[in-house]
């Protein structure tokens, strides 16, 4: 008998670019995936970074649990006197962020390049 493991509905990756921590979210972030995603993100020790970009260009869906976690990330970064931005949300995700007025708390850029330019120009250190 052949068993095939079901692939996760999401993917989380990160990299550091010129002192800016970039978190890339891919797929669906929902109640079924939020715990694993949260553990993965926490393993990156994000509290050490002051410039933080969340790249949403490959995120296809976000439910209230995913939105709640994004709000937690915003609060964590802001509480540590850092700056966090979102970039490149797809139409559905962009509409949800707009409806929930997330743009009151975080800048949302159309492209990763625009977000990087903004973060590079900030007069705050990249690391603590």
Residue 45 pLDDT level (bands cut at 50, 70, 90)? confident
User: pTM of the full predicted structure?
Assistant: 0.88
Number of folded domains in the chain? 1
Portion of the chain with pLDDT greater than 70, in percent: 92
- Report the C-alpha gap between 95 and 50 in whole angstroms: 27
Q: How many CB atoms lie within 10 A of CB 106?
A: 19
Task: Answer whether residue 92 is part of any domain.
Answer: yes
Q: Is the pLDDT of residue 6 over 60?
A: no
From its phi and psi, is residue 45 left (phi > 0), alpha (psi between -120 and 50) or beta?
A: left
With CA atoms as reference, report the closest residue to 87 among 45, 66, 48, 117.
117
pLDDT digits (tens, 9 = 90+) for 84-102: 999 999 999 999 999 999 9
Look at residue 1 and tell me if it is in a domain. no
In a domain, 46, yes or no: yes
Q: Residue 33 falls within a domain, yes or no?
A: yes
CATH number, domain containing residue 87: 3.30.750.24
Q: Per-residue pLDDT averaged across 123-128, rounded?
A: 77
Residue 128 forms part of a structural domain: no
Q: Which domain holds residue 25?
A: 10-121
């Amino acid at each position: 008998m052949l068993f095939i493991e079901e692939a996760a509905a999401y993917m989380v990756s990160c990299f550091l670019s010129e002192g800016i921590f970039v978190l890339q979210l891919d797929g669906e972030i929902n109640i079924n995936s939020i715990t694993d995603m949260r553990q993965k993100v926490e393993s990156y020790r994000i509290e050490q970074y002051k410039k933080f970009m969340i790249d949403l260009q490959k995120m296809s869906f976000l439910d209230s649990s995913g939105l709640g976690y994004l709000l937690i990330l915003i609060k964590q970064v802001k509480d540590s006197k850092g700056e966090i931005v979102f970039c490149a949300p797809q139409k559905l995700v962009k509409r949800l962020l707009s409806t929930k007025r997330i743009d009151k708390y975080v800048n949302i850029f159309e492209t990763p390049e625009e977000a990087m330019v903004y973060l590079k120009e900030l007069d705050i250190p990249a690391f603590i």
